[in-house]
Amino acid sequence: MSPPSEAPAAVIFGCAGPELTPDEAALFRAVNPLGFILFAKNCDTPAQVRHLVETLRDTVGRADAPVLIDQEGGSVRRLRPPQWDDVPPAALFGQMFEHDREKAVVAAELCGRLIAAQLAPLGITVTCAPVLDVSFPDTSSVIGDRAFGSDPAVIVELARAFCKGLADGGVLPVIKHIPGHGRATVDSHLDVPRVAATAAALQAIDFAPFRELASQPLGMTAHVVYEALDPDNVATVSATMIGDIIRGEIGFDGFLMTDDIGMGALKGDIATRSAAALGAGCDAILHCSGDFDEMQGVGAVVPPLTEEAHERWRAAAAQLSPVSDVADAAELAAQLSALIDHVGIDVL
């Protein structure tokens, strides 16, 4: 399908620092990326982040351009004390679940609501969380406490509550890393993880949380090779994994973005990687580093969103409900801390 003329480019860009440079602004105006993603290097104070978010949106002339961040909790949180309240890791809620199922689910939802209360006042509309990966004894430390646990049913219950908290607070979740990073023993930031599990084992365990939460609006791929399904390509650039598994077996029909296209698990230059991921069926490229030369390379080859991808994005954005009364993040953090203390679990 040919894309509609007004479709933005199929890429989400990072930027180098807390303020946009003139060169970055000019590039973003020329490329018209779908949106942007922030990291700790971009976030100093609430006022500064709000200004940066507004400036980014001004470059593309879209007040509703998505601005993303990795605010999971635990080791992966870009907004940190003292400017922002701390957020516990997902594994803590899995540990709580073993002691008190009901309170664990409430706490997971409250955590999502807390993250939304941190992000919404800044104008950030998407957080790349929750992680739905199933934890195994030899799971790479890059996942670690970011996973809710080792039981797919528990992951589903906690992740669904977490997503509800985010959505109620006016922030869209991104389920990741589809179709599952848990069996990977290698950090995909550095090298290619290869998973040797059978298709039956993957379908029964690893894919299960994603299948149960397939109605979520946004998803992120895994840079992992699943040898039983496509021994030659990581899922991000595999038409088999995206078409047959993510869209087919798992049933995810939301907007699918890559994990960071600059990670070590991918081969070739940035332009080659980007074209391969879009050709395999990803809706958009996620380029996180803010490296200007790389962004120029991506911008030169990435086309506008396809009509199908644009419609998926519109459907996702339609789930972003404005919140008239933004909750107080400090109050939510206190409530969450009290609930965790009541169950008697130490923050990991």
pLDDT in tens, the chain (348 residues): 333 347 999 999 999 999 999 999 999 999 999 999 999 999 999 999 999 999 999 999 999 999 999 999 988 999 999 999 999 999 999 999 999 999 999 999 999 999 999 999 999 999 999 999 999 999 999 999 999 999 999 999 999 999 999 999 999 999 999 999 999 999 899 889 999 999 999 999 999 999 999 999 999 999 999 999 999 999 999 999 999 999 999 999 999 999 999 999 999 999 999 999 999 999 999 999 999 999 999 999 999 999 999 999 999 999 987 776 677 999 999 999 999 998 877 654
Return the DSSP state at 345.
-
CA 328, 334, 337 angle in degrees (round to 5)?
140
Which of the residues are catalytic?
A: 189, 259
The CATH homologous superfamily for domain 9-35+46-52+71-343 is Glycoside hydrolase, family 3, N-terminal domain (3.20.20.300)
Q: Do residues 57 and 15 lie in contact, with contact meaning Cβ atoms separated by under 8 Å?
A: no
Number of C-beta neighbours around residue 321 at 10 A: 12
Give me the residue spans of the domains in the chain. 9-35+46-52+71-343
Residue 1 pLDDT: 32
- Give the sheet arrangement for strand 126-127, strand by strand: 172-173, 126-127, 67-69, 33-38, 9-13, 284-287, 255-260, 218-221, 175-178
The alpha helices in the chain, defined as continuous H runs, are 22-31, 46-60, 90-99, 101-119, 152-168, 199-201, 208-212, 239, 270-280, 292-301, 307-317, 329-343
**C-alpha closest to that of 87 among 308, 306, 259, 336:** 336
Distance of CA 135 to the CA centre of its chain: 18
**Selection from 60, 71, 12, 62 nearest residue 32 by Cα:** 60
pLDDT at 343: 83
**Residue 300: count of CB within 10 angstroms of its CB:** 12
DSSP class of residue 4?
Answer: P
